[in-house]
Structure 1
Amino acid sequence: MKLNGSEILIECLKREGVKTIFALPGGVVLKIFDMLHQQKDLDVILTRHEQGAGHMAEGYAKATGKAGVCLVTSGPGMTNVITALADAYMDSVPLVCFSGQVPTSLIGNDAFQEADNIGLSRPCTKYNFLVKDVNDLAMTIKEAFYIATTGRPGPVLVDIPKDVSMATTEFVYPTSVSIRGYNPTYDGNKWQIKQAAEAIMKAKKPILYVGGGVVFSGASAELIELAELTQIPVDMTLMGLGAFPGEHQLSLGMLGMHGTYQANMAMHYSDLVIAIGARFDDRVTGKVSEFCPHAKVIHVDIDPTSIRKNIHVDIPIVGDCKTVLRELNQILRASVNGEQKELRKPWWKQIREWEAAHPLSYQQDAEGPIKPQYVVKRLYELTKDRDPIVSTDVGQHQMWAAQYFKLAKPNRWLTSGGLGTMGFGFPAAMGAQAAFPGRLVLCIAGDGSIQMNMQEMATAVVNKLPVKIIILNNRFHGMVRQWQDLFYQGRYASSDLENTPDFVKLAEAYGAVGLRANKVGDLDAVLKEAIAVNGPVIVDVPTYRFENVYPMIPAGGCNHEMILEDPPELKTKQAGASKVTPDGNDTVLTA
């Protein structure tokens, strides 16, 4: 069967089980788009910006566990999608990006809309390919999906020159992949797993430190079994939320810079850290030299380069989280008894004391300004029975969502962790909605970050993606403002968003629904109305401008050195700020 390069691409995508592509056309990929237009098996979602296409592919991948796919043109098309590739690389998201390239004869000649796609993407992809011969295209695509989804997942780029997309050859779909030098280890070393089991049985103050690797390996059930079998408390990273039920009695919530008091204290004072699918990033470790000074460390990760990269590890186990946990649980089931649980009673007593001493808290007055924590809490309480998928942008609202929205299952939490990309949340939510048209998908955003990719509302409306966007609107780049208040004497250098748009009118301009809750008493009714709408909705919630996220570990601090509330001088400053409830003309509080 002779096919041209564009047809080969489409056939390979079908064979890989791809259903949806997020894409934006341009000159060198017109042949590919023409072929896509003539087929009915693949759904092409036309985005308004290539960064949006990349984030949608990420959201699709995070919600499904499968590789997300995006297609962009050469030059600026490629440079625009780089942010999404870097984001996916940092957070280990399986993604295959196809980029167009000028004809092979013009590569290196500064042709119109030429960019060095391979050079640009090399630092932020797991691997990349430049296809120079149409005969290599099918195998390259097969290898791209294999690399993206195996081992530690990540983004892979396939760069297709215009002439390759148009050339013809005999199509043969590869049935297998063998890449020299790339053989991920899935089975952990049995002796090391046995050593880990023995350490767990002896530990008096153990802690489970759980990252996003548990989600992508599908190891949530095995993690729950391990925690319940051993009665060990569970700390989750930002990327690991949902891997363990947030309302489970063994859950201590999120740890790290804005983690719960009990999660960070338990980590610091533990005698055994069992890290599973986590990479000991700086937002978790704090001051590395004083991280968990009394603990032995077990580290389970499929990526051998992540082990001992930041922290000394006593028992390293390279392998897939699901596979390793199954074997670990099998050993522990035959060994764990009431003696271990009795051994840890003082530990749990201490944890509950920490929990009671400094719980997550805020003060919501019935007639006062709306607190952002209250919005997230009510959104959670009103939707938790619907098992929603929750996406966030980056900033204060992201941390409040992580603290107050208790995820019960994996693959329900879409957020940008490692790169911290403002503008991620809305397109990622759309990607998840495309994968699950009947599901409730929520996007919790800030008024600053939602404007980064606001243009994708057109994509949501045209493609009937009923994402519900809840904007915590404080008319600031909130996290920047918080740091300026705490560490820069309150000088709001380029953080005050003085000309925030009317988001209700903006939604209506795109053909979506816009709602606003100006008062505490209005919030529930507005949220219920938004959820009931059969289409995309923006809910604008003006919130108290100067609310800060606590606990907070200052940069360079240790996990047990948390700031728990505003310092006295900041409280005095805030007490002098106007607390007038906003009216229809002033949609945010003013200082």
Structure 2
Amino acid sequence: MRMTVAQALVRFLAAQQIERDGERSPFFGGCWGIFGHGNVAGLGQALQQHRDLLPYHLARNEQGMVHAAVGYARQRNRLGTFACTSSVGPGATNMVTGAALATINRLPVLLLPGDTFATRAPHPVLQGLEVPSDGTVSVNDAFRPVTRYFDRVLRPEQLISAALEAMRVLTDPAATGAVCLALPEDVQAEAFDVPEAFLEPRVWTVYRQPPAPEALARAAELIRAARRPLIVAGGGVIYSGATAALAELVNATGIPVAETMAGRGALLSSHPLSLGAVGATGTSAANRLARDADLVIGIGTRWSDFTTASKSAFQDPGVGFVNINVAALDASKHAGLALQADARVTLEALREVLERVEPDWEARAAAEAAGFASEVERVVAPGDGELPSQASVIGAINDAAGELGVVVCAAGSAPGDLHKLWRARDPDGKGYHVEYGYSTMGYEIPGGIGIKLASPEYRVIVLIGDGSYLMLPGELVTAVAEGIDMTIVLADNHGYASIGALSRSVGGQGFGTRYVRGAAPAVDGDQTSALELDLAANAESLGAHVIRARSVEELREALGHDVRGPVVIHVETDRYAGVPDYESWWDVPVAEVSTDERVRAAREAYERARAAQRAYLTPAEAAARGASPLR
């Protein structure tokens, strides 16, 4: 069949399906795009011609459309995504941030940027990059380090192999991330004879990989020998659909569970052995048990510095690790025993061969979990301050979300507070959606759009600070245009409160973190040049229904609205009312020399805290025999 490269690609994408556990569905929910000279006559024409096969959605910023695709992919447990197309030039490089976010978070998204002419006849073209030493380079080469697969389709016939390779990576749980197929604008519009088989429905089956029998046996032996085992549940538990299997294992063994950012909600907070968040933004319950655990079972986690509290969280002299992960890179970390396998299959297998942990360890975990549940009630309660605290805002959102509500957040201080304070109520682990692999300001609103498109039955509540809101407010227009029912709680603290607090913790005074007129004042609290912005009016001008809440009580009332479409609830919050650290640490180096006494004191505290940092190098088997770790 003769058609253009772009037409063939659209037909191909519409025909791709994914299957797991016998359930089959289309892999692509559609295509997001903004058209320019590099894609309007190619992919633009093809999407218009085949709009009945692959729905098209117009974004307002190319970064935002990638975020929407990623939100959709995460909500679908990586069993679906969107394609995203842009012109060559700034439209393409706007997507680079989204590509990095997707790859770091191990989430699939297909990027289809236009590219400069393959013939080079009109070279140099508008928005084309010229590199004196390399005539093959375009701005799209910036995608290479932030994607899991990159190809440039220079001839029509190359589309077939490139598209199939793209699907191989997108549907592989271990290899997935951003995939980029750069499409020269002349090649997009060029016709060729497309094989019929390329356009036929194609099913990509995700098989659940079992653990190697020997590895499973060794893991079981190590866990049985441990006196104080701890599970750290990552996003892989949720993506695998293993939340029920995790709960069954915990019920059978009494092993307590702590959770990463991506794994928050892997175990219901009401479970007596649910310790909540672990690491730099962890709970006192999780961090205390992490400190004393002699064996840590990581399930679907990539062991980021926040999870390990910059490798200070696990302090038992002989601590070892067992890692269950589909990705070899993550399974091998911390000299752990690697079970490269599907989380659900492995948890089900372990449940059959493990015994119950020592009663004292289980009882201690339950007591710590219950104690922190009471702490959450204390912290989220409305205070006596003039402005609501961020914690009290989180408490109100948590109550409004219920079981079928999902909170969306990404950057600033809110993710850390959410990680500590959120009470997970969704048994599938979908109530907590915080992008913290890349912590991308501006993810929240487009991410919420993608979540709602993936799961219309969920109530989507976006928590976004004013700094993050100002990064991508235009995607609010997209939500209005798409008719997305979502609630956006805009917490206005007049600047970058998170970095302000971090600045103060390292001896600074919040320099450069507050919205002011002119040069930044030396001290955060200086009000003489404060910049007053009406972000509620801004949101209203973009088409959203806006509610102004001046207290926690008004916020709770506003969260009960029945307005359709995007609703923005503006609430001013206290930028200085933080949540305790709960015995955690994050490695942020402090200036070694300074004329400021506060900085010198912070450096001394930093050196004391860094003394607890260690390299986890003891193999799990050696740790079980009591071998001394290497520091």
TM-score, with structure 1 as normaliser? 0.86
Q: Deviations over 1:366-405 (max 9, x none)?
A: 67421211111122112204x0122113111222222333
Residues 171, 240 of structure 1: CA spacing in aligned structure 2 closer, same or farther, 3 A cutoff? same
State the number of aligned residues. Answer: 544
1:256-271 to 2 correspondences below 5 Å: 256-271=279-294
Task: Give the counterpart letter for 1:395 in structure 2.
Answer: G
Q: Is structure 2 residue 141 aligned with structure 1 residue 119? A: yes
Matched, 1:26 2:41: no
Aligned residue runs from structure 1 range 57-206, under 5 A: 57-65=69-77, 66-106=80-120, 109-115=123-129, 116-152=138-174, 153-168=176-191, 169-174=193-198, 186-206=209-229
Are 1:554 and 2:585 matched, yes or no?
yes
- For residue 194 of structure 1, give the secondary structure of its aligned residue in structure 2: helix
Residue pair 1:210, 1:235 contacting (<8 A) in 2 also: yes
Contact 1:185 1:302 in 2 (8 A): no
Please name the residue that 2:573 is paired with.
Answer: 543
> 1:400 — aligned with what?
417
Query: Which string of whole-angstrom CA distances, capped at 9 and with x for unpartnered residues, describes residues 451-503 of structure 1?
Result: 11001111111111122100222112111011122222424323446435323
For the Cα contact (< 8 Å) 1:62–1:411, is it kept in 2?
A: no
Most deviating of 156-165 and 52-61: 156-165
Q: 1:50 to 1:291 in 2, by over 3 A?
A: same
Per the TM alignment, residue 208 of structure 1 is displaced from its structure 2 partner at its CA by 0.5
Please tell me whether residue 457 in structure 1 is matched to residue 476 in structure 2: yes
Letter in 2 for 1:410: G
Question: Which residue number in structure 2 is paired with residue 575 of structure 1?
Answer: none
Q: Given the alignment, which residue of 513, 516, 529 partners 2:545? A: 513
Rounded to whole Å, the distance in 1 between the matches of 2:182 and 2:123 is 17
> Among residues 375, 378, 394, which one is paired with 1:359 in the alignment?
375
Q: Where does the alignment leave 5 or more consecutive residues of structure 2 unmatched?
A: 17-25, 130-137, 517-529, 589-600, 603-631
Q: Deviations over 1:149-171 (max 9, x none)?
A: 20322111111112221122223
Residue 435 in 1 paired to residue 457 in 2? no
Match of 2:360 in 1: 345
Cα-to-partner distance string for 1:232-278 (whole Å, 9 max, x where unaligned)? 11111001112222332221111111110111111110111011111
Distance 1:440 1:177, change over 3 A: closer
Aligned to 1:581: none
For residue 68 of structure 1, give the secondary structure of its aligned residue in structure 2: strand
Aligned runs of 1:113-512 on 2, under 5 Å? 113-115=127-129, 116-152=138-174, 153-168=176-191, 169-174=193-198, 186-288=209-311, 291-293=314-316, 294-309=318-333, 311-313=334-336, 315-332=337-354, 336=355, 340-341=356-357, 343-349=358-364, 352-353=367-368, 356=371, 359-360=375-376, 361-362=378-379, 364-365=382-383, 368-385=386-403, 387-407=404-424, 408=426, 409-496=428-515, 498-499=530-531, 501-512=533-544
Distance 1:355 1:94, change over 3 A: same
CA shift for structure 1 position 518: 0.7
Tell me if structure 2 keeps the 8 A contact 1:88–1:95: yes
Deviations 1:94-127 (A, max 9, x none): 1111111122112995432235255211111111
Larger deviation: 19-28 or 404-413? 404-413
In the alignment, the residues of structure 2 paired with residue 107 and residue 90 of structure 1 have an alpha-carbon distance, to the nearest angstrom, of: 37
User: What is the SS of the residue equivalent to 2:119?
Assistant: helix
- Is 2:232–2:298's contact at 8 Å kept on the other side of the alignment? yes
Counterpart-to-counterpart distance in 1, 2:122 and 2:152: 13
SS at match of 1:539: strand
In structure 2, the CA distance between the partners of 1:398 and 1:109, relative to structure 1 (3 Å rule), is same
- 2:285 is matched by which residue type in structure 1? Q
Q: 1:40 aligns with which of 33, 52, 55?
A: 52
What residue identity is the alignment partner of 1:525?
E
The structural deviation recorded for 1:346 is 4.1
Instruction: Please give the per-residue CA displacement for 1:311-360, whole angstroms capped at 9, x wherever unaligned.
Output: 221x221122223223223334xxx3xxx34x233442266258638934
Residue 353 and residue 246 in structure 1: after superposition, are their counterparts in 2 closer, same or farther (change >3 A)? closer
Residues 507, 537 of structure 1: 8 Å contact kept: no
Q: 1:431 to 1:185 in 2, by over 3 A?
A: closer
Higher helix share: 1
Partner of 2:556: 524
SS of the residue 2:183 aligns to: strand
**1:424 Cα deviation from its structure 2 partner:** 0.8
- Deviation, 1:450, is 1.1
Gaps of 5+ in 1: 558-568, 571-591
Structure 1 306/388 Cα, relative in aligned 2: closer, same or farther at 3 Å? same
- The whole-number CA distance in structure 2 between the counterparts of 1:185 and 1:122 is 29
CA distance in 1, matches of 2:161, 2:302: 32
Q: Check conservation: 1:480, 1:495, Cα contact below 8 A.
A: no
In 2, Cα distance between equivalents of 1:289 and 1:435: 38
What RMSD, in angstroms, separates the aligned Cα atoms of the two structures? Answer: 2.7
1:13 correspondence with 2:13:
yes
Q: Say if 1:286 and 1:372 are closer, same or farther in 2 by CA, change over 3 A.
A: closer
Q: Within 2, Cα distance between the matches of 1:20 and 1:176?
A: 16
> Does the CA contact (< 8 Å) of 1:23 and 1:46 recur in 2?
yes
Seen in structure 2, the aligned counterparts of structure 1 residues 382 and 61 have a Cα distance that, compared at 3 Å, is same
Q: Which residue of 2 aligns with 1:560?
A: none
Partners of 1:454 and 1:554 in 2: CA distance = 33
Against the structure 1 CA distance between its residues 212 and 117, is the aligned structure 2 distance closer, same or farther, given a 3 Å change threshold? farther
Task: Tell me how far apart the structure 1 counterparts of residues 272 and 93 of structure 2 sit (CA, whole Å).
Answer: 46
- Going from structure 1 to structure 2, the CA distance change for 1:96 and 1:524 (only over 3 Å counts) comes to same
Partners in 1 of 2:382 and 2:576 — Cα distance? Answer: 14
Q: Which amino acid aligns with 1:425?
A: E
1:266–1:351: 8 Å Cα contact kept in structure 2? no
Which secondary structure state, in structure 1, belongs to the residue aligned with residue 94 of structure 2? helix
Q: Is the 8 A contact 1:93 1:155 kept in 2?
A: yes
How has the CA–CA distance of structure 1 residues 178 and 391 changed in structure 2, closer, same or farther, with 3 Å as cutoff?
Answer: closer
User: How far apart in 1 are the matches of 2:8 and 2:414?
Assistant: 44
The letter of the residue matching 1:5 is V
